[in-house]
Structure 1
Amino acid sequence: MSLPPGFLDELRNRVPISRVIGRKVVWDQRKSNQARGDWWAPCPFHQEKSASFHCDDQKGFYYCFGCHAKGDALTFLREIDGLDFMGAVKVLAAEAGMTVPEPDPAARERSDRRSRLLDVTEAACRWFRLQLQTGAAAEAREYLIRRGLDRDAEDRFEIGFAPDSRTALTSALREKGFAEALIVEAGMAAKPDNGGAAYDRFRGRIIFPIRDGQGRCIGFGGRAMDPNARAKYLNSPETPLFDKGRNLYHLAPARTAVARGQRLVVAEGYMDVIALARAGFEGAVAPLGTAVTEEQLRLMWRISPEPIIALDGDAAGQRAAQRLIDLALPMTGPGQALRFVMLPAGQDPDDLIRAAGPGAMGALLDQARPLVDLLWTRETEGQIFDSPERRAALERRLQDAIARIPDESTRRHYGDELRAKRRDLFGTAWRDRGKTRGASAKGAGKGPAGRGPAPRAPIPASTAGAGGQPGEWLLEGASLLICALRPDLVPLAERNLERLVPHDPDRAALLHDLLAGSDSAAGRRALETLRADAHLGLTPAVIEAQDDAAAAAILTNLLDRLEAQRAAGAELVRAEAEIQGEADEGLTWRMQQIARARHRAERPDMEDSGDLNEDRDALSAQLAGWLSDQIWRKPPRR
């Protein structure tokens, strides 16, 4: 509905936002400044101990520096209590002592209709509860006892029973004054296509009420008592109140529990949620008889930034996990993650808790695995990667999967994690290859039978840099040779290596082998060429003499210098192409930047007064410069 101009501003001005939020948080009095309306507290939207949630009364906004939740008082009420917009307006208006303007006739009619439907479902809930205590429900009560549910549990979760009668509920609701059309619209009854009398939708079933985030009964789930029933579980149909793809079972109590510091655990069914909640895991929810939908996933993330998906240890649970991977990847990012728990084969949370107790369930939740682990397992489990083609296919599948992640930082970290897993998977052969390279390093750069140095090979045009400094060809070759001699350094310089694009196809193959932990004929050929290059003859001896930290610093600095030289060259070409007549100030500035970049590339050991030298590690620069002197300036002995 539309509200008069200025109504919302007046509403926000009358009620300090700290008063609204203060009911859900405990303010940090040491960090807060009450006199200035500056408030800090642990965030109610995610689990934390520090006070990173900031509330400003003057601006009327809140912001969490941890999960980045933000908004005004209305946003807070909608997120924390699951209210719709007008619901939040009404709550805030009551706090402010203001009257919400009447909606237009059409909106008022929709609201009234929804209220009448809620009256139907609440009346049905009460009727189902009463039926559970009748003689017709004896078998249902025995079933619940076998599942470990006592009378207190029945009352807590409002469990009911629908007798196996065609019109018992419909008749009871009509006696309370509800029209048949309203009963059908609420999903409590169905109307035959031939126009006959309406009949009960739930018959011969244990009934679980489904409530929304505000605690209103919007539908039901029913478990059949007849083992031969066509559907073991049956949900309410889609109605103006109920959309099974946009709601979760046990939503409101779970949100409250998570706000108190519990974990959000997503199970598969009603009985799993009930078992978890009774065992102390009160932040448990379940999708409503379907695979998790995008809307349900977003709803989970509004409650917790990292829900734990607890899936049954059967084939169906495995399939559900695979589907959820593809659903979640395009939505994941900072503050929107998933962790997974795979239960023992043949068990669900209810089975595990009854067999081994809450401690066993808690231990599994503590070991929940991140989404990237599930992705890796899906792409590698049961497969053999004994050829370059199979390893390349794995790499392509993983790249295609993480390419769907919209957040650049998250996508980069996924790539880092998956590369580490590839190295672990192919690690034995890779480490053996590294040992072979290291063992033969002493002979690198020597002639036949180790008799003196090999003759200097012709140096490509790009080898010699300005002022006699090493050019791109030697910087690139030294970096690749160091990585081949010391494979343990590759993860430390991985991001620099990813940006390296060798022009020589053999070197490109060697770089791919280093990053992927693979082996190729072209890569081996490139390595042998580097070993035999007299210009790199001192590299093995120099790098072997360094500890891990110093060797990593040398490698990183060599790669930085290579990037600086290539960037400077590319920028110079672009700047020269743009010269039209006299140079303007912009072009002059660009040329200055080129000069500074070249200065940094050529003299890493000298301090640069500009921004291009920020955060440079002095030790790294010194060692890299010394290595360069050793490699390129000393002539080979005759």
Structure 2
Amino acid sequence: MSLPPGFLDELRTRLSLSDVVGRKVMWDMRKSNQAKGDMWAPCPFHQEKTASFHVDDRKGFYYCFGCHAKGDAISFVRETENVEFFEAVRILAGEAGMPMPERDPQAQEKADRRAQLTEVMEQAVRYFGLQLRAGAGTAARDYLRRRGLSGETLTQFDIGFAPDGWQGLWDHLTGKGVVPEMILACGLARESERGGRPYDVFRNRIMFPIRDARGRCVAFGGRAMDPNDNAKYLNSPETEIFDKSRTLYNLAPAREAAGKGAPLIVAEGYMDVIALVAAGFGAAVAPLGTAVTEDQLQLLWRIADEPVIMLDGDRAGLGAAYRVIDLALPLLEAGRTLRFALMPEGKDPDDLLRAEGPGAVQARIDAALPLVRLLWQRETEGRDFATPERKAALERTCRDKAALIRDPSLRGYYERELKDLRWQLFNPRRQAAQAPRGRGPRGKWSPPETARAETRNSVLASGDPAQAVRLREAVILATLISCPDVAEMFEAEIERMPCRDPDHAALRAAILHHAGAGEKTLRAQIAAEIGDETLEKLMALPHVALAPPVRHPGDAERATLTLREEFAKLAAGAGVEAELREAVEDIDGLADETLTWRVAQAAEARNRAQRSVEEDRTVYDLGENGLRLDREEREAFARLLGQLDRPKPGH
């Protein structure tokens, strides 16, 4: 049985040799460099204790420096499984999700035909190269020189020129004995609709050979010299040897350069790739006039774990980057992602290189955005989230995008990262936006300007409500750190906490970001981002140390009960403060009975929230209703009545 042309190439492209070999060996991670696909292990073919068996994952070959065994994925399976060639191919095809082809008696004929077609393409490469160096290519040479391409670069990329004639290439190839049908099958010429001689597809264009992973020319890209031409760039049609969705320009040289440590860059066009390579960025590739496809992404990830998408700095380039995000999300895996280097507005990599040099491009690569950040930019850029509905819509969008990721562990990290970005957007750390009030000689706030404001200040100063809020926040934060598993249940309440204390705000941000990773990871992240001292200070507070969840870390039931009670108290306290503030705003226009009723309603709301909580409080009765007030509320109410006893202005 013969396999169809290209089947083995596709199989090797889809498989990772290190994955195949990794089932039989134990990698020496001290010697291996997983990021570069450079893996070492004791040889599975002979007894040894040292790691002399080397796998080059990017080239797809292994070699043992001890017994000199060598080969690819197919030969490895043959040797280790003791199977014949086709059985090894069948095993690997099953792992790669590729159905084995049906028996094809004509497979060898097809393979021979592909070889003949690629030979015709190589003859075309040589013809176009001669034309560029001849008199017909003078204008093209001048253009390439203005673009900064040296003679060495022209030779390196086999750049040529198609003269402005209808049958120049046709006559050349047929004169060399090439069968006309082969020229048409290569996509180099088309049949005339008028029944005349076939005519050349490429005319008056600078020609860029497009090669497959094995370096064989399978197509051309042509750049028009005439600015009025209908198509600035024209690619070969798809043929028996060319599938543009599975091909990348400069793929083979880029794979070799990336294996030596160069960053893999995905540019938009041929000239960008050529300029990048000439400037020292050897691992540059480009799709062929279309958006990046899933097959091309898989090709990229076979070369590097984090390719850098470097598209033009205009709206179209940014739109192309956004489309890549949607394509990539379902394919992401741990350690396999994309980064995005954004070009300056209106410039492509070639423009940036000519204007500012390689250093500017390297700076863009170093500052490339992770995929999750560009996703966030796309969903938030230029939008207003002033209403709850818009915030909810953003949350739903982020949740839906994260759900596209198939890898469960990676999906969880994306959910947490997007959640943290939402929290930062909706709850920015507030700077002092209002004009600072004056301070008295002992550092206390000085009285506001008017007598009415003085009354308002004294009424609201019932003990120190701000301190009470801080104490409750401390218990809540300590509970969440001791049992982070319950954080998701109270996410909305956590986000609404005032957290005017900077340490509390920092702890809250860490909890929202890292709680899902577990207590140990959460504490480690807090120590790294905020410092051990802040955490130790929180846990050492007496009322925190006595809290049941802190004394029993990991007890989800205790933590849940405590958090419900503390959040209820915070909400009730905020309600009392709001009601008192509103009553004081209207103090001149309210009857005494109405004001008493307003304060009583606030107190009753607080009592309802805390009625189930056993506290050691002194309880007072107010009027005939026997309304329960705690000490703080009674003092606030007494002060309020004292203000009412004063003569009002004008009386």
**TM-score, L = length of structure 1:** 0.62
Tell me how far 1:449 sits from its aligned partner: 8.0
Distance in 2, Cα, partners of 1:230 & 1:171: 25
| Contact 2:61 2:72 (C-alpha < 8 Å) held by counterparts | no
| Contact 1:160 1:208 (C-alpha < 8 Å) held by counterparts | yes
Query: Is residue 496 of structure 2 the alignment partner of residue 496 of structure 1?
Result: no
- Please identify the structure whose Cα radius of gyration is greater: 2
Alpha-carbon distance change, 386 to 200 in structure 1, aligned in 2, over 3 angstroms:
same
| Contact 1:276 1:349 (C-alpha < 8 Å) held by counterparts | yes
Query: Is residue 43 of structure 2 the alignment partner of residue 56 of structure 1?
Result: yes
Tell me how far 1:54 sits from its aligned partner: 3.5
Render the CA deviation track for 1:316-367: whole Å, top value 9, x for unaligned. 1111011111111111121320000001011111111111111111111111
Alpha-carbon distance change, 487 to 239 in structure 1, aligned in 2, over 3 angstroms:
farther
Equivalent position SS for 2:237: coil
Q: Percent identity?
A: 45
Equivalent position SS for 1:365: helix
Query: Is residue 31 of structure 2 the alignment partner of residue 47 of structure 1?
Result: no
Equivalent position SS for 2:325: helix
- The residue identity in structure 2 corresponding to 1:125 is V
State the partner residue of 2:124.
124
- The residue identity in structure 2 corresponding to 1:75 is A
Tell me how far 1:141 sits from its aligned partner: 0.5
| Contact 1:38 1:56 (C-alpha < 8 Å) held by counterparts | no
| Contact 2:482 2:554 (C-alpha < 8 Å) held by counterparts | no
State the partner residue of 2:381.
381
Equivalent position SS for 1:145: helix
| Contact 1:45 1:303 (C-alpha < 8 Å) held by counterparts | no
- The residue identity in structure 2 corresponding to 1:56 is C
Q: Which runs of 5 or more structure 1 residues have no equivalent in the other structure? A: 9-16, 22-35, 79-84, 90-102, 434-447, 454-477, 502-507, 518-543, 568-630
Q: Decide which of 510, 516, 520 is 2:493's aligned counterpart.
A: 510
Distance in 1, Cα, partners of 2:260 & 2:380: 39
| Contact 1:45 1:259 (C-alpha < 8 Å) held by counterparts | no
Which residues in structure 2 correspond to 1:207-226 (within 5 Å)? 207-226=207-226
Tell me how far 1:211 sits from its aligned partner: 0.7
Alpha-carbon distance change, 37 to 306 in structure 1, aligned in 2, over 3 angstroms:
closer
Tell me how far 1:46 sits from its aligned partner: 3.1
Alpha-carbon distance change, 38 to 306 in structure 1, aligned in 2, over 3 angstroms:
closer
Query: Is residue 340 of structure 2 the alignment partner of residue 349 of structure 1?
Result: no
- The residue identity in structure 2 corresponding to 1:281 is F
State the partner residue of 1:286.
286
Distance in 1, Cα, partners of 2:231 & 2:550: 62
Distance in 1, Cα, partners of 2:145 & 2:464: 87
Tell me how far 1:545 sits from its aligned partner: 11
Equivalent position SS for 1:161: strand
| Contact 1:266 1:307 (C-alpha < 8 Å) held by counterparts | yes
Which residues in structure 2 correspond to 1:133-282 (within 5 Å)? 133-282=133-282
- The residue identity in structure 1 corresponding to 2:72 is L
Distance in 2, Cα, partners of 1:131 & 1:494: 75
Tell me how far 1:114 sits from its aligned partner: 0.5
Distance in 1, Cα, partners of 2:41 & 2:177: 50
Alpha-carbon distance change, 378 to 550 in structure 1, aligned in 2, over 3 angstroms:
farther
Equivalent position SS for 1:342: coil
Which residues in structure 2 correspond to 1:102-121 (within 5 Å)? 105-121=105-121
Query: Is residue 335 of structure 2 the alignment partner of residue 331 of structure 1?
Result: no
Distance in 1, Cα, partners of 2:472 & 2:108: 72
Distance in 1, Cα, partners of 2:346 & 2:177: 47
Equivalent position SS for 2:555: helix
Tell me how far 1:635 sits from its aligned partner: 3.8
Distance in 2, Cα, partners of 1:310 & 1:391: 31
| Contact 1:140 1:206 (C-alpha < 8 Å) held by counterparts | yes
State the partner residue of 2:624.
none
Tell me how far 1:152 sits from its aligned partner: 1.1
State the partner residue of 1:428.
428
Alpha-carbon distance change, 154 to 70 in structure 1, aligned in 2, over 3 angstroms:
closer
Alpha-carbon distance change, 113 to 549 in structure 1, aligned in 2, over 3 angstroms:
farther
| Contact 1:483 1:489 (C-alpha < 8 Å) held by counterparts | no
Tell me how far 1:311 sits from its aligned partner: 1.2
| Contact 1:245 1:293 (C-alpha < 8 Å) held by counterparts | yes
Alpha-carbon distance change, 558 to 290 in structure 1, aligned in 2, over 3 angstroms:
farther
Distance in 2, Cα, partners of 1:301 & 1:545: 41
Distance in 2, Cα, partners of 1:484 & 1:196: 86
| Contact 1:314 1:347 (C-alpha < 8 Å) held by counterparts | yes
| Contact 2:483 2:555 (C-alpha < 8 Å) held by counterparts | no
Which residues in structure 2 correspond to 1:88-107 (within 5 Å)? 105-107=105-107
Render the CA deviation track for 1:233-270: whole Å, top value 9, x for unaligned. 01110011111111100101100011111110111011
Tell me how far 1:115 sits from its aligned partner: 0.7
- The residue identity in structure 2 corresponding to 1:259 is G
- The residue identity in structure 2 corresponding to 1:145 is R
Query: Is residue 291 of structure 2 the alignment partner of residue 308 of structure 1?
Result: no
| Contact 1:339 1:369 (C-alpha < 8 Å) held by counterparts | yes
State the partner residue of 1:74.
72
| Contact 1:41 1:52 (C-alpha < 8 Å) held by counterparts | no
Render the CA deviation track for 1:153-181: whole Å, top value 9, x for unaligned. 11111100000111110111111111111
| Contact 1:132 1:140 (C-alpha < 8 Å) held by counterparts | yes
Alpha-carbon distance change, 41 to 109 in structure 1, aligned in 2, over 3 angstroms:
farther
- The residue identity in structure 2 corresponding to 1:547 is K
Distance in 1, Cα, partners of 2:192 & 2:483: 66
Tell me how far 1:75 sits from its aligned partner: 2.7
Alpha-carbon distance change, 394 to 142 in structure 1, aligned in 2, over 3 angstroms:
same
Which residues in structure 2 correspond to 1:600-615 (within 5 Å)? none
Tell me how far 1:209 sits from its aligned partner: 0.5
Tell me how far 1:427 sits from its aligned partner: 2.9
Alpha-carbon distance change, 110 to 549 in structure 1, aligned in 2, over 3 angstroms:
farther
| Contact 2:330 2:405 (C-alpha < 8 Å) held by counterparts | yes
- The residue identity in structure 1 corresponding to 2:554 is D
- The residue identity in structure 1 corresponding to 2:221 is G
| Contact 2:33 2:39 (C-alpha < 8 Å) held by counterparts | no
Query: Is residue 537 of structure 2 the alignment partner of residue 547 of structure 1?
Result: yes
Distance in 2, Cα, partners of 1:260 & 1:489: 49
Distance in 2, Cα, partners of 1:285 & 1:396: 36
Alpha-carbon distance change, 333 to 251 in structure 1, aligned in 2, over 3 angstroms:
same
State the partner residue of 2:554.
560
Equivalent position SS for 1:336: coil
- The residue identity in structure 1 corresponding to 2:222 is G
- The residue identity in structure 2 corresponding to 1:57 is P
Distance in 2, Cα, partners of 1:316 & 1:119: 37
State the partner residue of 2:99.
none
Tell me how far 1:497 sits from its aligned partner: 4.0
Alpha-carbon distance change, 632 to 494 in structure 1, aligned in 2, over 3 angstroms:
closer
Distance in 2, Cα, partners of 1:195 & 1:122: 28
**TM-score, L = length of structure 2:** 0.61
Distance in 2, Cα, partners of 1:296 & 1:175: 37
Equivalent position SS for 1:238: coil
Tell me how far 1:487 sits from its aligned partner: 9.0
State the partner residue of 2:647.
none
| Contact 2:343 2:349 (C-alpha < 8 Å) held by counterparts | yes
Equivalent position SS for 1:344: coil
| Contact 2:218 2:242 (C-alpha < 8 Å) held by counterparts | yes
Distance in 1, Cα, partners of 2:74 & 2:286: 24
Tell me how far 1:408 sits from its aligned partner: 1.0
| Contact 2:210 2:219 (C-alpha < 8 Å) held by counterparts | yes
| Contact 2:118 2:217 (C-alpha < 8 Å) held by counterparts | yes
Alpha-carbon distance change, 548 to 420 in structure 1, aligned in 2, over 3 angstroms:
farther
Alpha-carbon distance change, 340 to 514 in structure 1, aligned in 2, over 3 angstroms:
farther
CA RMSD of aligned residues (A): 4.6
